[in-house]
Every structure is written in C-alpha cells, then in structure tokens.
Amino acid sequence: MGGVDIRADRDLQTPAGLKRRIRCHFTGTVQGVGFRPFVYRLALAEGLAGFVLNRPDGVRAEVEGEVDALARFLKRVTGELPPLARIEHLARTELAPTGEEGFVIRTSTLGGSKSTLIPPDIATCEACERELFDPADRRYRYPFINCTNCGPRLTIIEDVPYDRGSTSMRAFPLCEACRCEYTDPFDRRFHAEPNACPVCGPSLTLLDATGEPLMTDDPLREAAALIREGYILAVKGLGGFHLCVDATKEMAVARLRRRKLREEKPLAIMVRNLDGAKALALIGEHEERLLTSPRRPIVLVRRREGAAVAPSVAPAMPDYGIMLPYTPLHHLLLAEGLEALVMTSANRSDEPICIDNHEAVSRLEGIADYFLVHNRAILVRCDDSIAACVGGAPRLLRRSRGHAPQPLGLPDDYPPVLALGAHLKACLCILRGRQAFFSPHVGDLETPLARDFLLENVALMQRISECIPETIACDLHPDYYTTRLAHTLASQGPEGGVNVVAVQHHHAHIAACLAENHISERVIGLAMDGTGYGSDGTVWGGEFLVADLGGFERAGHLLPFVLPGGELAVREPWRPAISLLKEALGEDWPVSAGRLEIVPEGVDSALVETLLARGINCPVTTSLGRLFDGVAAIVGRSRKMSFEGQAALGLEALARGAAAPLPWGILPGESLRLDWRPTIRALVEGRLKGRDPASLAAAFHATLIEAFTAVALEIRARTGIERAALSGGCFQNRRLLEGCLEAMTRAGLQVATHRQVPPGDGGIALGQAVVAAGRTRDRDAQTRRSR
Ligand code: ZN
Ligand code: ZN
Ligand code: FE
C-alpha cells in the first residue's frame, strides 16, 4: 500500500489565470465503484476540461484549467472518495495545455484488453436503505434497490467487461426513469449496472414446497408471516439461497437441523441492525467494524449469557456467527417484526449452495416449506464470508461473498498460475502479474455437485482474471480430486505447454502466510492443522518448517502417533485418545481408558486393543488436529463429532481462565520432536483426581503455547532466523493464536499471521500458487541457460 503521492499545493505555484494540464493515473480500487463519475463531477465542479477513462492498469484522467482549480481538484479527488474506492497510488505528469473545452467520460477500448476488475458484491448502502423505507420514494419497499455504491456485482456476471449487457440484468430493459439515472453523471445511479425499479426490474414470487406460486399481493409480507409461524423458508439472496427460520423459535431451528441433517455445526444468525447484534453478543470495536462493513461477512462473536436465541442455533459453542442484512430483501424481511433469523446456506451437507429457482425446489425437497424467489438470475454461487477478530485484528476465516473476486496485491510479478487447493474447504487461486485472485468458497469436495462447482469456478476465474495458466498447482496428495483434476486440465492444454506442480500441504500453508505478508526471506513456519500429505507419505499436521517460497525443511514436528481406524478417527475422538494413552502410559493404558470411560459403549474394546497392538488400519500421524480431538476425549468431551474439528472447537470453548502449562518435552535429533506424552500423563492424572475439565482444557492450551514457542526458539538458536509464520486450520483457535502470538513476540520473534487469507485450507491455494510460480520461473531460467 504505497502512500498517495500528491504534492498538489506545493508545485502548482504558477500565477493565477495561467492554464495547466495534468495527467493523473490512479491505481487501487478505482473501477466498478463509481470512480469515473466522481472524477467527472469534480472536474465539472472545478470548471476543468479534459477526460477520464478506465484502463486495464487503472483509471486515467487528464485535467486542464486554472492552477487554483487544479489544486482543489487534486485535493478533493483523494479527500472525497466514493465509499468503495481506494487510491493506492496517484502518478501525475505535467502536459502541455491543449485548449480543450468541456470534460467527458471516454469509453475504454484501450489496448485490446477488456480487463476491468470485477468488483465483489456489496451490501445495501445507507442512501439506498433510506429510500427503501421512504414511502415517498419510487422504490419504497422495492427489494432490488441498488446504486453505484452497492448491490450485486460478481454474482450476476456472465462475462467481462462488467456492464449491464453481460449480467443477468440484461433481461430487464431500463424504464425511462431508470435510464435517466443510469445516463446522468450527477446521479447516484450513473452506470449502476444492476439499476432497477418496480416498473422495469426483477420481482418476488412466493412458492410452496412443490414450486407452485402462491396467490398473494405481497410475497414478502406473506413470507415473513410464514417465518413467524415457524416454517422453514428458502430465500433467494445474493450468491445463493439461504434456509431461513425464526432464530428465537427452538422448534423451528431444531426442525431445520433435522431436515438438513446438520447435527451440531453452528448456524449463522442475521439480525436487523447493530443494536440487535449487541443484544445477542459482546461486540468490540473491531467486530463492529466487521459487522457494518459493506462486505458484510458473518462475524464470530462471543455470545451473551441468556441471549434470546434458540439453544439449537449453536449448541455448546461460545460464539455466535452473526451478520447484518446485506440485501434490500433482508432489510425488508427483518423489518416485518423479526428480531433474528437463522440464515444458513441452502444445501444438503457437503453440497454447494443452490442458486437457481428450479434447482432449489428440487434439491431442497423435504427441507424447505416455502420458497421466496425472484427472477434475477444468480450466475455465480457465492457463500457468505466468515470473519473474526483475534489478537486485536480482524481476520477472514472464509473468503467469499463481498471479497471474491477482488485480488490481493503481491510483492512480486508472477507468471500465470492456477492453484486448485486441497480437498476440504476448497477455494482456488489464480496469479496474474502482481495479483492473486481467489474464487468464491467451494467447500469440501466430497460430492459430485461440489466437484462440479469447483469446475465452474475454474472456468469463471480464468474468464474474469483473463488468465491462461502456464502452470497448475495442486497438493502433493496423489489421491485428492484436485490433484487428479490438475493433471486432467494440464493434459487438455497445449501439448507440453502446461506443467503441474505439486506442493506439500504444510509448505503451502506457510507460503500462503508469507505471500500475504509480503515476506520473501526464510522463516520458522508453524503449520498446524488436521491433515496434510507429508513428503514421507505419512499424515502430517503438527509441523515446524524452516521455509521460504522456494522450499522447506522439516525442522520439527509433533511426536507421531497412530490413528486407529484411519479416517474414522476424524469423527470419533476416542480413537486418537486411546492411541495417545497407549503411547503415554504403555501397557497399562486400557486401565486408564476404562476409568476415564474413553471407549464408547457398544465398541468391543478387546478388538480395538488387538487392532492397535497389531497396527491394523493405523496410519501414522503428527496431526495437531487429531491431538486436540484425543485430548478432548481424555478431558471428557466430544464422544462423537458431527463435523471435523468439532472436538477441538469444543475444547477451546471449554477452556476457562488462565492455567499453568502441563509438562512436555523436546526429543533431540535432526528434526525436533515435540513430546506430548508427559502432557497426556498429567491430563489423565488431573482427570482421575477430579480436576475441573475447564481448567484442564485451559492448561492444555497453555502447554501448546509454551511448547510451540520453545521449539521455535530452539530452531532460532540453530538457524538464526528471527521470524515466525503461523498458519494452518488450528490457528482458527483464538486461544492458541493469541497465546502463540503473545509468547513468541515476547520472546523476540517477529510473528506473521493471516488476515485477508484464511489460515485453514481455504487459503492454501495462494501458497500453492506462489510456490509453483517460483518453481516454474526457476525451471524456465534453467532451460534458457542450458540452451
Ligand atoms: Zn446504494
Ligand atoms: Zn425502472
Ligand atoms: Fe491444512
């Protein structure tokens, strides 16, 4: 983020009355955000001549006029920006005056490139919200009101460049009144591509469970009434359908869970306004900014005791996921006497969000009682983004609606790369020059529909980034769908033209953190997560890497343990638990396992003992995620889980107050091994002595923080590296992230963490991309040398 380079007032000290001409080149977020009309209005207001136009590399303006007017223009152009615009750099060049008269917005057809950045979808702005509830306004209660500062963008786009003709608004010819607004540079709706009104724009329909329209004058009021009665409604939103119920009605929420086959995973809540959010949760300054930002993510916030929300919304979780309304439709629904709505992506488990009306009716059969739909097509699926404030900074945990496809700036120029991500929380990333484009969140690639969605995204992202990749990056895991897809896509490209680069999972996590933080030197990387394919073919997940973008060494890791039952261990924390007990306690482990009632009823413990003793279906792992699961079971929580990471979340939720760390050790060697066996022994002893599980959970976190810091310092002593990077899904755990940040910083390390890129597998594609780009560059350099 370079500073704005303006020396407006200083170097324009020529006598008044003399004309000058200046070329301004603006870069940053200056396209699709009403920047050109803003420049136009300013130029007219200051009586300047010239033009403004969009270019692939930013916005260019030439302004000519009196010196004082020019100075005022330059001051105002940076000082009075439209809400969504941001200037990163303004380059000025002095030109000879041409005597031109009048100021125009030129059409941009420069350089053959149709590249203008596609903006993300933006929440209803305050001006539109006011009009929405103003009985005198021609768009009073119109659910599709929008302007240059707000409304759908990515989700209605078919192709670039972004203009009405290439969006799903093409189906709605502008009426006279809307056209006037659209063509008037002084109007807030000048070139607002989705501009619409009740006369010419989209409209709502209410459907019953079979997709038959209901006869009603006011589908929205009718829908709100049905929600108040406890029905489940599928509501068409910006990037897809939500399933929506009254969040205060336990019966309704419980029924939604049963029908959606979603046992315990927390459900997001939408409240009417900030006060509504404050009534349910503790909202700090950062949370407030996240909640009210035009990107409107779901924000994870600490719930208030006794908040008026049905228990089933987020059972046994300390946080609620809360968002504020981001479409006019949401505002109108909540204004119908609804305090809080459960708003969860409309899908069955592991499937992508529904976007099409017919698709919704058929895929949500047996789940939704009614459908509130409209006739503006959603062309791009885009789930809600998720954010939280951790360690005093806002952080994105899922980067999707409101962010996609806005690129992230990179410090380096990269060759074109497509990175496909891993297997869970899939999200892909394209590098083009100094920019990294993330796709909308795809999710776990467990179902054919999810895989189709990934393919949709590959096509979409290539189209809107206008990038034809020379390199496709994927995970090192040979059996991931994304790995196979990488090879398929490469084989469809020009012969020998596209190469596939497989990047080790945890290296990719650290590389993502480095790229996001513009770090090119070697760091001590802590990659902590559930599962990743290791270079040695075992399951890694508690890794201390000495890494840069070019490569890594495994400087340390958790002491390995086995996972009895393999994949089953992800959902059944007693499995890692008995493995940890066996390692920590030796032959006597079944006694303690019995006293702590680790093995659930109905499981033949003798059989499990035999399998464990013989090592049948017992893959080896260093996964911190599985260590968390096992410890949760030992501490007495989470016998069975309905989603990955639930036990770890539960353990974090359980932890209360400060607690002293438990014993742990480092086993020496070329690669350090963090020995958690003393910790397990202490936990077992604590349990048997009747120590409070909340304090044991806190002590376990404190142990990890102390041990991670010690291992990092040992690596610093060996290598002299002063910088650490924290990545991997386990760093979504606030207590762990905040603790590590604090302890490592105190020990004198510079610690890099994620903010704009998710720490989990949702951010891994960026790391894959930059590592693969580096390798491609090296390879190309080598071929050039050998010629
Ligand atoms: Zn607006
Ligand atoms: Zn109209
Ligand atoms: Fe991971």
Is the pLDDT confidence value at 612 over 90? no
Task: State the distance from the centre of ligand 2 to the C-alpha of 145, rounded, in angstroms.
Answer: 10
DSSP 486-533: HHHHHHHSSTTT-EEEEE-HHHHHHHHHHHHTT--S-EEEEEEEEEEE
Name the pLDDT band for 663 (thresholds 50, 70, 90).
Answer: very high
Q: Which ligand is nearest to the CA of 623?
A: 3
Task: State the distance from the centre of ligand 3 to the C-alpha of 621, rounded, in angstroms.
Answer: 13
| Alpha carbons 455 and 502: distance in angstroms, whole number | 19
Residues with Cβ within 8 Å of residue 308, at least 6 apart in sequence: 248, 279, 280, 339, 340
Is the pLDDT confidence value at 643 over 80? no
Task: State the distance from the centre of ligand 1 to the C-alpha of 124, rounded, in angstroms.
Answer: 5
| Alpha carbons 314 and 292: distance in angstroms, whole number | 22
Residues with Cβ within 8 Å of residue 458, at least 6 apart in sequence: 418, 420, 428, 489
Is the pLDDT confidence value at 111 over 50? no
Task: State the distance from the centre of ligand 1 to the C-alpha of 108, rounded, in angstroms.
Answer: 25
Tell me the pairing of strands 268-271 and 319-323: parallel
Supply the pLDDT for residue 246.
Answer: 98
Q: Among residues of the chain, what percentage have pLDDT more than 90?
A: 76
Rounded average pLDDT over 102-129: 78
CB 301 within 8 A of CB 282: yes
- Supply the mean pLDDT for the chain: 92
Task: State the distance from the centre of ligand 2 to the C-alpha of 332, rounded, in angstroms.
Answer: 19
368-422 pLDDT, tens per residue? 999 999 999 999 999 999 999 999 999 999 999 999 998 898 988 999 999 999 9
Supply the pLDDT for residue 720.
Answer: 98
DSSP 728-761: SGGGG-HHHHHHHHHHHHHTT-EEE--SSS-SSG
Task: State the distance from the centre of ligand 1 to the C-alpha of 127, rounded, in angstroms.
Answer: 6
Supply the pLDDT for residue 1.
Answer: 35
Least confident range from 102-106, 204-208, 337-341: namely: 102-106
Task: State the distance from the centre of ligand 1 to the C-alpha of 203, rounded, in angstroms.
Answer: 18
| Alpha carbons 651 and 204: distance in angstroms, whole number | 44
Supply the pLDDT for residue 116.
Answer: 56
| Alpha carbons 475 and 332: distance in angstroms, whole number | 45
Task: State the distance from the centre of ligand 2 to the C-alpha of 330, rounded, in angstroms.
Answer: 21
Supply the pLDDT for residue 27.
Answer: 84
Is the pLDDT confidence value at 5 over 70? no
Q: Which ligand is nearest to the CA of 189?
A: 1
Task: State the distance from the centre of ligand 2 to the C-alpha of 175, rounded, in angstroms.
Answer: 4
Name the pLDDT band for 330 (thresholds 50, 70, 90).
Answer: very high
Is the pLDDT confidence value at 284 over 50? yes
Name the pLDDT band for 17 (thresholds 50, 70, 90).
Answer: low
Is the pLDDT confidence value at 8 over 70? no
Supply the pLDDT for residue 113.
Answer: 45
* Count of CB atoms situated within 10 Å of the CB of 632: 28
Interaxial angle between packed helices 646-654 and 734-746, expressed in degrees from 0 to 180 and rounded to the nearest 10: 70
CB 509 within 8 A of CB 547: no
Task: State the distance from the centre of ligand 1 to the C-alpha of 149, rounded, in angstroms.
Answer: 5
DSSP symbol at 676: -
743-786 pLDDT, tens per residue? 999 999 999 999 999 999 999 999 999 999 999 888 888 888 87
Task: State the distance from the centre of ligand 3 to the C-alpha of 608, rounded, in angstroms.
Answer: 28
Supply the pLDDT for residue 158.
Answer: 87
454-511 pLDDT, tens per residue? 999 999 999 888 888 999 999 999 999 999 999 999 998 777 689 999 999 999 999 9
Task: State the distance from the centre of ligand 1 to the C-alpha of 128, rounded, in angstroms.
Answer: 4
What is the dihedral sign for C-alpha 472, 475, 480, 482? negative
Supply the pLDDT for residue 486.
Answer: 97
Rounded average pLDDT over 516-520: 97
Supply the pLDDT for residue 7.
Answer: 41
CB 243 within 8 A of CB 256: yes
Rounded average pLDDT over 339-355: 90
Task: State the distance from the centre of ligand 1 to the C-alpha of 195, rounded, in angstroms.
Answer: 10
For 67, the enclosing helix (H) or strand (E) is helix 67-79
CB 545 within 8 A of CB 599: no
Higher-pLDDT residue of 16, 558 = 558
Of 715, 545, 550, 697, nearest in space to 631 by CA: 697
Q: Which ligand is nearest to the CA of 200?
A: 2
Supply the pLDDT for residue 4.
Answer: 43
**Cα-based angle 71, 76, 82 (whole degrees, multiple of 5):** 155
Rounded average pLDDT over 321-346: 97
- Reported pTM: 0.92
Which residues have C-beta under 5 Å from ligand 3, the single-atom ion? 529, 532, 761
Q: Could you tell me the CA-to-CA distances from 696 to 52, 572, 636, 680, 748 in Å, in that order?
A: 64, 21, 10, 11, 28
Q: What SS3 state is found at 457?
A: helix
Q: What SS3 state is found at 94?
A: strand
Task: State the distance from the centre of ligand 1 to the C-alpha of 193, rounded, in angstroms.
Answer: 12
CB 554 within 8 A of CB 671: yes
Supply the pLDDT for residue 181.
Answer: 97
Task: State the distance from the centre of ligand 2 to the C-alpha of 201, rounded, in angstroms.
Answer: 6
Q: Which ligand is nearest to the CA of 145?
A: 1
Q: Could you tell me the CA-to-CA distances from 254 to 227, 242, 260, 634, 665 in Å, in that order?
A: 14, 16, 10, 29, 45
Name the pLDDT band for 9 (thresholds 50, 70, 90).
Answer: very low
Task: State the distance from the centre of ligand 3 to the C-alpha of 727, rounded, in angstroms.
Answer: 9
Rounded average pLDDT over 189-194: 91
Is the pLDDT confidence value at 25 over 60? yes
| Alpha carbons 130 and 125: distance in angstroms, whole number | 9
Task: State the distance from the centre of ligand 3 to the C-alpha of 531, rounded, in angstroms.
Answer: 6
Least confident range from 114-128, 323-337, 420-434, 717-731: namely: 114-128
Task: State the distance from the centre of ligand 1 to the C-alpha of 164, rounded, in angstroms.
Answer: 17
Least confident range from 83-87, 148-152, 512-516: namely: 83-87
Q: Which ligand is nearest to the CA of 327?
A: 1
Supply the pLDDT for residue 210.
Answer: 96
State in Å, rounded, how far the first CA of the chain is from the last one.
39
DSSP symbol at 399: -
Cross-sheet strand order for the sheet of 58-66 = 86-95, 19-29, 58-66, 49-55, 103-105
Rounded average pLDDT over 711-720: 97
Q: Which ligand is nearest to the CA of 421?
A: 3
Name the pLDDT band for 10 (thresholds 50, 70, 90).
Answer: very low
| Alpha carbons 131 and 129: distance in angstroms, whole number | 5
Q: How many residues does the chain have?
A: 787
CB 715 within 8 A of CB 546: yes
Supply the pLDDT for residue 657.
Answer: 86
Which residues have C-beta under 5 Å from ligand 1, the single-atom ion? 125, 128, 147, 149-150
Least confident range from 55-69, 174-188, 687-701: namely: 55-69
Task: State the distance from the centre of ligand 2 to the C-alpha of 171, rounded, in angstroms.
Answer: 13
Q: Which ligand is nearest to the CA of 197?
A: 2
Task: State the distance from the centre of ligand 3 to the C-alpha of 755, rounded, in angstroms.
Answer: 16
552-610 pLDDT, tens per residue? 999 999 999 999 988 888 889 999 999 999 999 998 899 999 999 998 888 888 888 88
CB 300 within 8 A of CB 321: yes
- State the number of CA atoms in the 13 A half-sphere of 46 facing the CB: 23
DSSP 220-252: HHHHHHHHHTT--EEEE-SSSEEEEEETT-HHH
Name the pLDDT band for 108 (thresholds 50, 70, 90).
Answer: low
